[in-house]
């Protein structure tokens, strides 16, 4: 779709995806469950590229996995809904979820090096969603796989599709996973740090590919990253996540030009130049609290340079400017 106002303002139609009040918990044997995501609400409009950023351990991956019923053992969605094309993803039966997964919503998983099956050739895996969902004849699937591998710039795609994952570099494995996500042309792709393992050149290619896809097919993305430079160049709207909570959200210009939450500002302060410094998020003083740590009030309070007495009360997520929310008493 065109870079129009509709997707960015929300238009009038229902969002493609709308998550409301999501709570994810880790169950423990003898102790109370640990909240991993707390009251997370977010939406992705048709044709929108939405960023979800925050330090490692914020709950970004668990949020994405919850949408596809892929949470690990003992981690569960305990509250909230995720409306996708007028169905609640959290209410789907396992067979219904299998129909959605890969065909309507695809995940490009974070860890390319462990996501592929080591004992199956790459081409077979890339073609798996089509095999499962579209049940097309083998030769047709093999041709499609070659085109998909070509599209993500894998050289000699016909020959390479017969390789095993270990014969691919990390960057090529990541591109193969991207090809797999594209195979059914799903309307929504959840891309979990899809470029982290890649060198800068290939990273730029993947980003260009995401942009092209959106332009050509209107594919929407939830783009998860800890890389502010990438998010600022790619995303229309951004959610900032900290310690299991959304602490700020808004259109790109609002977030990058007028950040309201001290955490978002700290992220940017830790990114003196927005591009090319992978270490940038490690430079905020202190560390992100473990989900099990009880912190009364604002969860960023202990690291916040502006914290004051009222921050011992939990701040609500409030509108700070039009379409720009922040979870901070000072915003
Ligand atoms: N399999 C698991 N078992 C227990 N805790 C987990 C598991 N996976 C992740 N967690 C915890 O959930 C929290 C959120 O993790 P995650 O969603 O991976 O964060 P992010 O993607 O933002 O780095 C972290 O505190 C992490 O330690
Ligand atoms: Mg993650």
- Over residues 74-78, mean pLDDT: 97
Among 113, 110, 245, 247, residue whose Cα is nearest residue 173: 113
| Residues near ligand 1 (Cβ within 6 A) | 26, 36, 54, 56-62, 72, 75, 291
Ligand 1 centre to CA of 59 (Å) is: 6
Dihedral sign for Cα 198, 204, 109, 261, please.
positive
Q: Which ligand is nearest to the CA of 37?
A: 1
Predicted confidence (pLDDT) at residue 9 exceeds the cutoff of 60: no
Ligand 2 centre to CA of 140 (Å) is: 35
Ordered by start, the domain boundaries in the chain are 5-104+186-326
Ligand 2 centre to CA of 135 (Å) is: 32
Predicted confidence (pLDDT) at residue 278 exceeds the cutoff of 70: no
Could you identify the atom of ligand 1 that is nearest to the CA of residue 110? 21
Predicted confidence (pLDDT) at residue 276 exceeds the cutoff of 60: no
- Is pLDDT larger for residue 205 or for residue 184? 184
Ligand 1 centre to CA of 1 (Å) is: 34
pLDDT score for 309: 95
pLDDT score for 28: 93
Class of CATH domain 5-104+186-326: alpha beta
Could you identify the atom of ligand 1 that is nearest to the CA of residue 291? 25
pLDDT score for 6: 43
pLDDT score for 36: 97
The band of 283, judged by pLDDT with boundaries at 50, 70 and 90, is low
What are the backbone dihedrals phi and psi of residue 152, each rounded to the nearest 5 degrees, phi first?
-95, 15
Residue nearest to atom 7 of ligand 1 (CA): 72
Torsion of CA 320, 262, 244, 12, to 10 degrees: 30
Return the SS3 of 91.
helix
Among 71, 164, 65, residue whose Cα is nearest residue 118: 164
Whether pTM exceeds 0.95: no
Predicted confidence (pLDDT) at residue 248 exceeds the cutoff of 90: yes
Neighbours of ion ligand 2 (CB under 5 A): 60-61, 110
List CB contacts of 331: < 8 A, sequence separation 6 or more: 248, 260, 261, 318, 320
Strands 105-108 and 220-225: unpaired
pLDDT for 97-148, tens place per residue?
Answer: 999 999 999 999 988 778 999 999 999 999 999 998 988 899 999 999 999 9
pLDDT score for 2: 41
Q: Which ligand is nearest to the CA of 53?
A: 1
Return the DSSP state at 137: -
Ligand 1 centre to CA of 70 (Å) is: 13
Could you identify the atom of ligand 1 that is nearest to the CA of residue 74? 3
Q: Which ligand is nearest to the CA of 60?
A: 1
Helix (H) and strand (E) counts in the chain: 13, 12
Helix axis angle, 170-182 relative to 138-151, nearest 10°? Answer: 120
Predicted confidence (pLDDT) at residue 254 exceeds the cutoff of 90: yes
Angle among Cα 218, 186, 52 to the nearest 5 degrees reads: 75
Predicted confidence (pLDDT) at residue 262 exceeds the cutoff of 50: yes
pLDDT for 218-247, tens place per residue?
Answer: 999 999 998 888 899 999 999 999 999 999
What are the backbone dihedrals phi and psi of residue 29, each rounded to the nearest 5 degrees, phi first?
-60, -60
Angle among Cα 78, 251, 279 to the nearest 5 degrees reads: 80
pLDDT score for 12: 66
Ligand 1 centre to CA of 25 (Å) is: 10
pLDDT score for 199: 78
Tokens 């095993």 belong to: 164
Return the DSSP state at 268: H
Give whole-number Cα distances, 182 to 107, 137, 155, 175, 210, in Å. 10, 19, 18, 11, 10
pLDDT for 35-74, tens place per residue?
Answer: 999 999 999 999 999 999 999 999 999 999 999 999 999 9
């Amino acid at each position: 779709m065109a870079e129009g106002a509709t997707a960015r303002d929300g238009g009038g139609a229902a969002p493609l995806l709308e998550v409301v009040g999501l709570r994810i918990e880790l169950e423990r044997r003898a102790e109370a469950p640990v909240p991993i995501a707390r009251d997370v609400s977010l939406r992705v409009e048709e044709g929108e590229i939405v960023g979800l950023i925050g330090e490692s351990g914020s709950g970004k991956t668990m949020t994405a996995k919850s949408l596809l019923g892929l949470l690990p053992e003992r981690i569960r969605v305990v509250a909230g809904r995720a409306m996708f094309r007028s169905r609640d993803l959290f209410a789907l039966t396992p067979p219904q979820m299998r129909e959605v997964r890969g065909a309507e919503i695809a995940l490009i998983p974070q860890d390319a090096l462990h996501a592929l099956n080591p004992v199956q050739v790459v081409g077979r895996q890339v073609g798996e969603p089509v095999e499962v969902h579209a049940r097309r004849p083998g030769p047709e699937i093999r041709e499609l796989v070659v085109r998909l591998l070509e599209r993500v710039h894998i050289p000699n795609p016909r020959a390479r599709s017969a390789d095993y994952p270990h014969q691919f570099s990390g960057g090529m494995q990541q591109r193969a996973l991207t090809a797999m996500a594209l195979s059914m042309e799903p309307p929504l792709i959840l891309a979990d740090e899809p470029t982290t393992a890649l060198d800068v050149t290939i990273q730029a290619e993947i980003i260009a590919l995401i942009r092209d896809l959106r332009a050509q097919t209107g594919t929407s993305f939830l783009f998860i990253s800890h890389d502010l430079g990438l998010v600022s160049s790619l995303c229309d709207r951004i959610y900032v996540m900290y310690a299991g909570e959304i602490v700020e959200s808004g259109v790109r210009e609002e977030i990058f030009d007028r950040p309201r939450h001290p955490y978002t500002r700290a992220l940017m302060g830790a990114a003196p130049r927005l591009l090319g410094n992978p270490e940038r998020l490690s430079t905020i003083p202190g560390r992100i609290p473990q989900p099990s740590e009880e912190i009364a009030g604002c969860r960023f309070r202990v690291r916040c340079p502006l914290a004051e007495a009222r921050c011992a009360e939990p701040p609500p997520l409030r509108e700070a400017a039009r379409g720009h929310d922040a979870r901070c008493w000072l915003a």
